[in-house]
């Protein structure tokens, strides 16, 4: 599958550029050496240094190009593609997927975040018109803002010396490969690797403890305790051991 790739020195957001380029392309990859306003989930900002990390978006025009029916799978494809890419540079046993959209690696004695994934979708009525998958992956950054310094890491901090372009090409290839897979197998692969069914979780606000019983097709969690069952669709509201 040949997908046009547009690279920029600096952009506000690779997701926004991808959305604009989809006006004249069926699908695109957009990368940048730096982005000023990278987005995470729930309006958070994705921060990183210039020329040291990967800022990549994949966009698809849903009106003219065969795409994933279950839109939550775009985010899942991003997580699986990052995991597969990282496993080419570090031991796969060191990599963990964190619900719903983060990738962590074992750095010293604790797991730290190395990548975040965000999918965005535009609709006209009930019909999805564009889907965009954004990925931030820390490659050669050594110093992080004090707010996230204890929680973030990079391939270089793990002792891996690699070129950003090599990691980027591997990531693009993995995204394409996962997009071509059966949707059911993508979801089952993610469920297995997220490894949440049967685990104990704590609700941040109430401090109540639940056990995850099932992961729904929309990515939400079905969890229960002695008092009943709840549905969780926001990973920021729960704490659990990776």
| pLDDT means over runs of 10, the chain (242 residues) | 94 96 97 79 63 97 90 98 98 97 96 96 95 97 89 97 97 98 98 97 96 97 98 94 94
Q: Say which residue the tokens 């090599």 belong to.
A: 166
CA within 13 Å, CB half, 190: 31
∠15-18-23 over CA atoms, to 5°?
140
41 and 83 part of one domain: yes
Tokens of residue 143, six digits: 């110093």
Domain, as residue range, for 75? 5-194
109 and 157 part of one domain: yes
Tokens of residue 157, six digits: 């901090």
Provide the pLDDT for residue 4. Answer: 98
Q: Say which residue the tokens 């074992």 belong to.
A: 106
Total number of domains constituting the chain = 2
205 and 188 part of one domain: no
| Dihedral sign of CA atoms 227, 229, 232, 238 in order | positive
15 and 116 part of one domain: yes
Question: CATH number of the domain that 117 lies in?
Answer: 3.30.930.10
**Residue 44, C-beta contacts closer than 8 angstroms, at least 6 positions apart:** none
Provide the pLDDT for residue 47. Answer: 66
Cis peptide before 100 (omega within 30 of 0): yes
Provide the pLDDT for residue 148. Answer: 87
> 233 phi and psi, to 5 degrees?
-130, 15
pTM: 0.95
Provide the pLDDT for residue 24. Answer: 96
State how far the Cα of 87 lies from the Cα of 76, in Å rounded to an integer.
17
């Amino acid at each position: 599958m040949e997908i046009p790739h547009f690279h920029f020195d600096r952009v506000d957001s690779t997701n926004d550029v991808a959305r604009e380029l989809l006006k004249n392309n069926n699908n695109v990859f957009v990368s940048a050496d730096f982005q000023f306003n990278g987005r995470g989930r729930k309006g958070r900002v994705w921060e990183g240094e210039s020329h040291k990390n990967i800022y990549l978006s994949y966009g698809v025009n849903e009106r003219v190009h065969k795409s994933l029916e279950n839109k939550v799978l775009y985010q899942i494809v991003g997580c699986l593609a990052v995991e597969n890419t990282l496993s080419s540079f570090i031991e796969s046993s060191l990599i963990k997927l964190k619900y719903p959209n983060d990738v962590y690696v074992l750095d010293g004695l604790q797991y730290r975040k190395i990548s975040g994934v965000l999918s965005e979708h535009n609709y006209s009525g009930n019909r999805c018109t564009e889907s965009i998958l954004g990925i931030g992956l820390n490659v050669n950054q050594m110093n992080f803002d004090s707010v996230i310094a204890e929680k973030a890491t990079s391939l270089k901090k793990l002792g891996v010396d690699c070129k950003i372009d090599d990691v980027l090409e591997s990531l693009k290839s993995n995204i394409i490969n996962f997009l071509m897979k059966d949707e059911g197998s993508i979801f089952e692969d993610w469920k297995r690797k997220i490894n949440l069914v049967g685990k104990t979780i704590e609700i941040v606000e109430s401090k109540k403890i639940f056990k995850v019983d099932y992961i729904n097709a929309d990515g939400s969690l079905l969890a229960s305790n002695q008092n009943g069952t709840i549905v969780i669709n926001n990973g920021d509201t729960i704490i659990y051991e990776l």
